[in-house]
Amino acid sequence: MNSFRVTPWEVEGSVDYEKLIKEFGTQPLTEDLKKKFVDLAGEDHVLLRRNVFFSHRDLDKVLDDCFSSKGFFLYTGRGPSGRMHIGHIIPFVFTKWLQDVFGVNVYIEITDDEKYVYKRDAKWNQIQEYAYDNILDIVAVGFNPDKTFIFKDSEYIKHLYPLALKVSKHINFSLAKAVFGFNNITNIGLIFYPSLQIVPTFFEKKRCLIPAAIDQDPYWRIQRDIAERFGYYKAAAIHSIFLPPLTGLRDKMSSSKPETAIFLNEDYETIKRKVMKYAFSGGQPTVEMHRKLGGNPDVDVSYQWLYMFFEEDDKKLEELREKYKKGDLLTGELKQYLIDKIWEFLEEHQKNKDKARRKVEKFMYDGKLSKRMWDLEFEDVFSE
């Protein structure tokens, strides 16, 4: 039997996403809903078309709120435990697209606190370095500075803490254990942390839509239990599957296993070496056999990466699939195709990241609250 486990901190085993929808109690993103969404957006996105985003909570209600001009806002985040890899950037690319097509505010939480308490050997200074580097990667995605607020928990805490306190008071340990798998050796920093990931869903008195991989959903489940008691909306979410590790279709990419991922700061030679060496192939062991029997794109990681993100052109993708299946396209050729696509994306990203250094203040809390799309004072939180 295939067993797997998905929590916000760990993914083990080969994930069965249909089962996960049932286990987490989310809804499948149906073709019908997708069509409504795309119609409203006025354009399609490769991550929707290829079912990378496959599940949701209350996305239909977000659409209703758009129709009735109530509007909504977007929220997503990053835990700075290391350099970002290609998987991490996916929700940000999608969030940026949503911001462009719907013209809405985006809040991005950088959870230095979470990573500090979660990782036993974490060094605070190291996490701060990663946080800055990750923020540059996020800014490089191209968000609208007038409608985007990036905040780091340890810096913005004064403004998060009142609501976090209130949230924490509504979550008992038994629920937190059931939802997050905490146990007697979990440190109490991590036990409190979920309140801080829930707070930004209350930044505006509108529905909050959260694009992220499905591992983050447990937070939203709790948020949805308590939100209405606070006079806020239940959070809506749109969930993606994980971009699989280079080494095979199981698990999740991991920063601690560099061979599983391509990092956003890697150069062409490194990408080439990693893909050629590690990308799990659905091809045959010899060229002769491959020409004769053909490859299997469904288990081939290079094909899957092209399918999920890197080849937007449907016709080209279909052509690659057919040629690979027939054995006309060899594994090395498919890998080279992917390498060029990854580099096309990363070369551009790295240029934008260089420029991001000069732009970053426009997105962040400056300690004086002059960046103030939202600001809730203690009195407001406790007055209700």
- Give the footprint of ligand TYM on this chain (CB under 6 A): 8, 75-79, 87-88, 90-91, 109, 111, 114, 197, 210, 212-213, 215-216, 240, 242-243, 252-253
> Closest distance between ligand TYM and the C-beta of residue 193, in Å?
8
Cβ distance to ligand TYM smaller for residue 15 or 63: 15
> Closest distance between ligand TYM and the C-beta of residue 87, in Å?
3
Provide the CA 62 distance to its chain's centre, in angstroms: 19
Cβ distance to ligand TYM smaller for residue 235 or 320: 235
Cβ distance to ligand TYM smaller for residue 106 or 320: 106
> Closest distance between ligand TYM and the C-beta of residue 57, in Å?
13
* Closest C-alpha among 65, 37, 50 to residue 233: 65
Cβ distance to ligand TYM smaller for residue 155 or 333: 155
Cβ distance to ligand TYM smaller for residue 37 or 219: 219
